[in-house]
Amino acid sequence: RWCWVGFHKMPKDGGDGIGDWGDSAGVDQENGNFSTDDMEPGSYRVRIHANFGDNEYAEYHCQDVEVPPQGLDNLVLRIGAPVSQGR
């Protein structure tokens, strides 16, 4: 089992899709914490990627976030509807 967070730049057309790759962070399975020091300031569309065992994979919508020049601390992500699921 694993889980990671994908940060995608907002799409140039402002649509519902995702833009260019921004960064990613692994999620601690014990407490749900994640961290990254490599994100540039800007607007990001967040996706949660998870595997539940037996090759069951899912990608979930998450909220959009704005990263200011000083960065973010204590960001809480809320998982939304599935984007894709599969084996």
Q: How far apart are CA 30 and CA 87, in angstroms?
A: 24
pLDDT of residue 5: 95
Q: How far apart are CA 87 and CA 67, in angstroms?
A: 33
What pTM, to 2 d.p., does this model score? 0.83
> 39-69: per-residue pLDDT in tens?
899 999 999 999 987 778 899 999 999 999 9
Per DSSP bridges, beta strands 82-86 and 42-51 are: unpaired
